[in-house]
Structures are given as C-alpha cells and as structure tokens.
Amino acid sequence: MADLFKDKAKVWDSGSIRVNGAKKIADEIRKEFKLHKQMQILDFGVGTGLLGFDIASSVGQVYGVDISAEMISKLQEKNTPELQIITYTQDIIKEPLKQVFDGVVSSMTLHHIEYSKDFFDTIYNNLKDGGFIAIADLQAEDGTFHSDNTGVFHFGFEKDALIKIAQESGFKNVAFKNINTIKKPQKDFGIFLLTAIK
C-alpha cells in the first residue's frame, strides 16, 4: 500500500491549524470523559501523535496505529522515557489487534477510510465493555477542504447518517457535536466530535 503521507510527515507538526486543532479535540474529549491513569487508549490514525501525546498525559498508556510508516517514524522521534506512545504500523481493519482498550480516539482519519461501517465494527471489537469512542472529523463539505483528494473517500460526514452507522455497530449514547471551525481562504469547515459508549 502506498504511503500517501510519506512526504507530508516531515512538515506535519509545523501547521498551527493541525496543532491547535488536535489540542481542541483533546480538550473536548476531557470534557466528555473522565480520563485517568488506569486507562489504556488507542489513537486510530495516530499520525505524528498530535492528539495522542496530549491524551497520553492524562492516561496510563496510549497506543497509536497508523498505516503510514513515515508518520509513525516522526511520532517515535518524539517519544521520551516519561511520555511515549506504543505504535503499530498496520491497517487494523484488515489485520485486527487482539488487544482491547478503555477508549478509542481519532482525529481527522475517518474520511480516509473507505467503508465507515468497517471502521466502527473494528473499534467496537477493540473496546472493553463500557469503553468509549471519541472520533473527530470533518462535517459534510464540498470536496474543497483538501487541495488533493487522493486517498479521500468522504467529503466529510452528515450527522444523522454517521450516528446511524455507529449505532448499527452496537454503540450506545451516540452524540455528535460541532467543536471547531477551520477557516481556509475558500471557506470555513466544521469539525465534529462523535462520542459513544460500548
């Protein structure tokens, strides 16, 4: 599989929109769920760890999974003895992890996954009973968010349709709210956080 983020990985953390956006998502997750040091959290589409490292400061251990070896490599450069993310470079929809977690978080990854139902089925199986998910991504847009839509399967998501998919995978207490707006020259784009419990 081609690493579509190979070249982007080098400069990923230099974008203030991405850095600030990840912090906003982490802050909203903390508002929704009481994080604590006994928790094991999976960051799906961890990238360079912008969201994962923020969450890691509040929990016992963050595990990160991504199909981009270059993004994982950039993340590993940021690991320290005090704060580190344990990583997997694989497509866990095709090669599932056996481990189960207290929560699954994800930032701006879902629109790169072709079949959303497969995603929710996978993370449902990777959650302990009572575990939570917190998935942030684009609200429905016109395809202009990315300058290049290679590897983009969805131009954002409609609230009701995505809630229905999560419920069909078995999730309960599914909620969807706007948490941020990314302002680009052409227009503004809404970012949502979908939360639910297994």
For 57-101, the pLDDT digits (tens) are 999 999 999 998 988 999 999 999 999 999 999 999 999 999 999
**In this predicted structure, which of 11-25, 84-98, 136-150, 167-181 has the lowest mean pLDDT?**
11-25
Please enumerate in sequence order all residues whose Cβ is within 8 A of that of 21, keeping only pairs 6 or more positions apart, or say none: 107, 108, 180, 182, 191
186, two tokens: 């052409």
For 112-163, the pLDDT digits (tens) are 898 899 999 999 999 999 999 999 999 988 877 777 777 778 888 999 999 9
Average pLDDT, the chain: 89
| Residue ranges covered by each domain of the chain | 8-197
Q: Say if residues 195 and 32 touch (Cβ distance below 8 Å).
A: yes
Class assignment of domain 8-197?
alpha beta
